Amino acid sequence: MSALTEGRWNLWSVALHKFALRPIWGNGYLSAQDSIYLSGGYHNEYLTALAEQGLIGFLAVAYLFWFLFMAAVLRVEELPAPFIMEWQWQKRKLFS
């Protein structure tokens, strides 16, 4: 499976290992450069937040993504009427 993901499983396992070392506060900004020498880091924003910022930083990042998603959902409700009727039907199905 690692060949299909171009080595990302290996990067993700390093991120999870770093998270396990300091789960609450994390290891600090750009701590990926301590053990791997790639400018791209772990190639996963969620795992990067967990490894570098711990649970506290991860919850902040997750809240930011949730806020942006909900802002987009509310923005869709401002679209013209024919699209809105379809969207409200889909939203009832999705959120109920």
Of the candidates 76, 72, 9, the one whose C-alpha atom is nearest the C-alpha of residue 42 is 9
Neighbours of 75 (CB within 10 A): 9
pLDDT of residue 70: 87
Q: Model's pTM, two decimal places? A: 0.63
pLDDT of residue 30: 78
| Stretch 13-24: mean pLDDT | 88
**pLDDT (tens digit, 9 = 90+) per residue, 31-81?**
777 765 555 677 888 888 898 899 999 999 999 999 999 888 887 666 665
pLDDT of residue 46: 87
* CB burial of residue 18 (10 Å; 0-12, 13-18, 19+): buried
* CB burial of residue 54 (10 Å; 0-12, 13-18, 19+): buried
pLDDT of residue 11: 81
